[in-house]
Structure 1
Amino acid sequence: MADVQTDDSAAMRPARQSRQSEIDAELALGAAAAVASNALRAGSRAPLFTLSDRAGRRVSLDELLSAGPVVLHFFRGGWCTFAESSLADFAAGYEDVLALGASAVAIAPPCGSAVQRASGHLRELLDVDLQVARAYGVAFELPLRLRATYERLGYTRPAASEASRWLVPIPATFVLDRDGGAALVHVDVDYRKSLDIESLLRALKALQARHATGLHAMRERPGRSL
């Protein structure tokens, strides 16, 4: 009886691809971690900006803050399945954010198409050159080895960046008080993780309680006699 020889390469291919994905992820995490220490910190004043939404309407952070606390959610773009998932979770809690007297916007890098999500009310602002992401310290340069892979996934390099820059946002969520100070900062270089909505809502409730206490104290303060 003749020996039957089998080709193990096909069976081994998924394992090799999985291992390569892990290596690529670690490389991206390392590049992001090298700059994440420069991200905006809690207690710091957030940089002001003006960006356009997908309908071309201009939105300024200063205007948003004039109405109350603001939540900024930076995500990697529609080309990243993890970003799609995190944005869907963020959008699912959008009405709860509004109920606590805050507004919320998602800040998107350049990409071919908008992220599909359940809510059509969450505004998506386009940071086409990642200038805002850089100002907040949440953009890193993509390692050379990963560039072709990311482009195949749909990643678009910021057009206005220097020719050698291949910037990618670091997933981040900032809760800004009405004075522009960062009350909560969540920056995680692991793009497979995101801030859970419960933690976000707790931070907003704490801000709401703080302002309520401050307003009550002002009302109770005796008037100055002439």
Structure 2
Amino acid sequence: MIRIVFITLFQLLFVVEASSQIDNNYLKVGDKAPVIRGIDQFNSEINSNKILQNKKILLLFYRGNWCPYCKKHLASLQENLEKFIKNGVFVIVVTPEKVEKIKETTSKFNSKFSIIHDFNNKIMNDYKVAFKVTKENVPKYFEFTLKRVREYNEKENNVLPVPATYMIDKNHRISYVHYDSDYKKRANLTEILNKIE
């Protein structure tokens, strides 16, 4: 029992530490992609190991549907979804937004792609995109961003992802990365499609 408590405390400390930086040593092309597990907004179990047996994965991180740049990117993703599906790509979107807010997002964009609530920030930490909302990390619009995060995320979770995008091949290796700490800069979905078509 004591060992379990110790391990749990260690994991919680690791989550806090891993979530404290921005522009850390993010994953690159050729790196092995961490496993993605979760339940999407359609109550479907998502397991990247199973998906990659037959398809590639396009993985996107978004901050919340309060973010106008995220909304624009998700709308573009939905517009291009059929093209990705046609080319054997399964789309997974990951967010710290709580489940009820994900349902709002799904309704707003009529989203057919899977959106996962990142419980305990595990996926964001695995992909090294998580950072705490602090004045140092968010010098502009700090108060506004913190207010939105506290409204949209689970209680006490002041963590956001860098809105990065990854393509994961069937060999579990990352073949495309867009990582930019400037939240206004997003992956060009047309460019990604051109690479796989």
**Normalising TM by the smaller chain, what interval?**
0.7 to 0.9
Distance 1:190 1:147 in 2: 14
Deviations along 1:142-187, one digit per CA (max 9) or x if unpaired, are: 115766422433544455xxx6x62111101100000110000111
Distance 1:45 1:84 in 2: 29
Q: Relative contact order, CA 8 A, sep 6+: which one is greater?
A: 2
Report the alpha carbon displacement of residue 108 of structure 1 after superposing the two structures with TM.
Answer: 1.8
Equivalence for 1:186: 178
Equivalence for 2:3: none
Equivalence for 1:141: 132
Is residue 99 of structure 1 aligned with residue 86 of structure 2? Answer: yes
Equivalence for 1:87: 74
Equivalence for 2:12: none
Aligned residues: 169
Instruction: Give the unaligned 5+ runs of structure 2.
Output: 1-18
Is residue 68 of structure 1 aligned with residue 60 of structure 2? Answer: no
Deviations along 1:40-91, one digit per CA (max 9) or x if unpaired, are: 1110000012111123332111111111211001111112121111111112
Normalised TM-score (structure 1): 0.67
Superposition RMSD in Å: 2.3
1:4-153 map, 5 Å: 35-111=22-98, 113-114=101-102, 115=105, 116-144=107-135, 148-153=143-148
Deviations along 1:179-210, one digit per CA (max 9) or x if unpaired, are: 110000111211112111211102323xxxxx
Instruction: Give the unaligned 5+ runs of structure 1.
Output: 1-31, 206-226
Tell me the SS of whatever aligns to 1:192.
coil
Tell me the SS of whatever aligns to 1:129.
helix
Structure 1 residues 117 and 184: alpha-carbon distance in aligned structure 2, compared to 1, 3 A threshold: farther
